[in-house]
Amino acid sequence: MKPKALQNCGKCGLCLSVCPVYKISNQEEASPRARLQLIKYYKNENLLSSSGLKEIISKCLMCGSCKAICPSGIDHYSQFMEMRAQMRKDHGEKSAIKSLTYLLAKESRIRLAAGAAKIGQKIIPQNFIQKYNLGNIPLKRFPRLNKKPFRQAVPEIIQPDRNKKGTLLYFTGCATNHIFDKTGFSTINILKQMGYTVIIPKKQTCCGIPMLFHGAGKQAEKNVLTNIKCLDKEDIKAIIVDCPTCGTALKDEYPALMQRLDKDVDAAKRISSKVIDIMSFIIQESDLKNFSNSIDKIKVTYHLPCHLKNSRKTSNNTEKILDKLDWIEYERAIDVDECCGGGGTFFYEYPEISKKMMDKKIKNAKNTGSSIWLTDCPVCRINLSGNLKRKDKITVRHPVEIINNVLFNT
């Protein structure tokens, strides 16, 4: 940790205006500014490590809004990650979080856990599922797992239907692989129709962000090195991601981590320069003429994930597409870019704060009168759909799914 970076904080308070946790709690100790000051005091040995300090550092969504707005250019992520690692060392970790980071550190464990969860969804009695919550989400509202992991259900190389425009790598992330395979099939279908060969490296694994954000950087290293090996290929036009958090990992955190480890820095930078989310790729490579359709307009609203808004400066590309498609009536919610409170495991660790954020989002989404709520992030999707009630009659989808359904009827 470089104290100079912390000392650069002019305590202007701009970060307070965008921090979702601060906005709910209204307490200085819940603000990014306070977290940085506490880290500084701790580093200067003016503050002892304590479980209370760990709690303050943990009560953060790692949404990146503070980093994006900070006029002093402070990298809050790296400060928080390093401090989280220290707190984990000093005070241990909640067993659920420890298990999660342990599972995600190895692909065979992820597969095993997904298989066990799938069996659980079949055999756990309905009265149990109806009764219990995971954080702020009722178990009954959790999505079903894919019948088969997405990467096993598709060939490694998929050729386009027409003119070959180039080759893309597709980093699917764990959510598409195990939960939202429709997002994966839709992404492939759209890219094929656009004329691209799509390679889905079989050996890719979890991007490592859950471990990095929970201060388990050591556990993340293997994942990061495996993915760098899979993704650092010549003659690739772009590396497509369908999850903004995976995008943040590959684009921003891999080069930073490799720099710290002094390993594979050039490869991480090459990968970073090619990463792009699917919606940004669509609008970058297409004038959307081929995305036109004469059906009656479908009314949709949208939730902008924090990691799309803050990390990769491509925040409004999905909205741009929604505005341009002639078969979409896009109704913008007034809080479209407000955090939903999902935050990886935040919805589980801090359900009360998360629920307050979510209740507002749901109220404003309902006010748009839309029956479809689009979002690009799988955790946001789980959080939004998990908190909606059946009577709300709103379904949550990734934008590629509705495009694929309408245009290609699959």
> Where on the chain is the footprint of ligand SF4 (CB under 6 A)?
9-15, 18-21, 32-33, 35-36, 60-66, 69-72, 74, 76
What is the C-alpha R_g of the chain? 21
In whole angstroms, the minimum distance from the beta carbon of 79 to ligand SF4 comes to 9
In whole angstroms, the minimum distance from the beta carbon of 78 to ligand SF4 comes to 12
For residues 62 and 396, which CB has a smaller minimum distance to ligand SF4 in the complex? 62
Question: Could you please report the per-residue DSSP string of 294-316?
Answer: -SPPEEEEEE--HHHHHHSS-TT
For residues 216 and 325, which CB has a smaller minimum distance to ligand SF4 in the complex? 216
In whole angstroms, the minimum distance from the beta carbon of 305 to ligand SF4 comes to 13
Pairing of strands 275-277, 157-158: unpaired
**Distance between CA atoms of residues 76 and 78, nearest Å:** 6
For residues 183 and 315, which CB has a smaller minimum distance to ligand SF4 in the complex? 315
Residue 323: phi and psi, rounded to 5, are -70, -30
* Burial status of residue 53 (CB atoms within 10 A of its CB: 0-12, 13-18, 19 or more): buried
In whole angstroms, the minimum distance from the beta carbon of 380 to ligand SF4 comes to 14
In whole angstroms, the minimum distance from the beta carbon of 396 to ligand SF4 comes to 22
Give the closest residue to 61 by CA, choosing from 366, 361, 397, 310.
Answer: 310
For residues 5 and 261, which CB has a smaller minimum distance to ligand SF4 in the complex? 5
In whole angstroms, the minimum distance from the beta carbon of 32 to ligand SF4 comes to 4
In whole angstroms, the minimum distance from the beta carbon of 71 to ligand SF4 comes to 6
For residues 63 and 169, which CB has a smaller minimum distance to ligand SF4 in the complex? 63
In whole angstroms, the minimum distance from the beta carbon of 382 to ligand SF4 comes to 18
* Burial status of residue 262 (CB atoms within 10 A of its CB: 0-12, 13-18, 19 or more): exposed
**Distance between CA atoms of residues 334 and 252, nearest Å:** 29
In whole angstroms, the minimum distance from the beta carbon of 30 to ligand SF4 comes to 8
For residues 38 and 114, which CB has a smaller minimum distance to ligand SF4 in the complex? 38
For residues 160 and 244, which CB has a smaller minimum distance to ligand SF4 in the complex? 244
Return the number of other C-beta atoms located less than 10 Å from residue 17's C-beta. 13
Please name the residue that has the structure tokens 């209370």.
52
For residues 62 and 241, which CB has a smaller minimum distance to ligand SF4 in the complex? 62
Beta strands in 294-377 (DSSP E): 298-303, 328-330, 372-375
Q: Could you give the count of Cα atoms lying within 13 Å of 164 in the half-sphere of its Cβ?
A: 8
For residues 87 and 110, which CB has a smaller minimum distance to ligand SF4 in the complex? 87
CA–CA distances in Å: residue 410 to residues 290, 308, 337, 402: 16, 27, 30, 10
In whole angstroms, the minimum distance from the beta carbon of 1 to ligand SF4 comes to 15
Residue 354 tokens, joined: 């998360």
Helix (H, G, I), strand (E, B) or coil at 282: helix
For residues 31 and 318, which CB has a smaller minimum distance to ligand SF4 in the complex? 31
Bridge partners (DSSP) of residue 301 are: 373
For residues 19 and 246, which CB has a smaller minimum distance to ligand SF4 in the complex? 19
- Residue 359's identity, in one-letter code, is D
In whole angstroms, the minimum distance from the beta carbon of 300 to ligand SF4 comes to 27
279 with 376: CB under 8 angstroms?
yes
**Distance between CA atoms of residues 22 and 5, nearest Å:** 22
Give the closest residue to 170 by CA, choosing from 108, 227, 222, 104.
Answer: 227
**Distance between CA atoms of residues 86 and 93, nearest Å:** 11
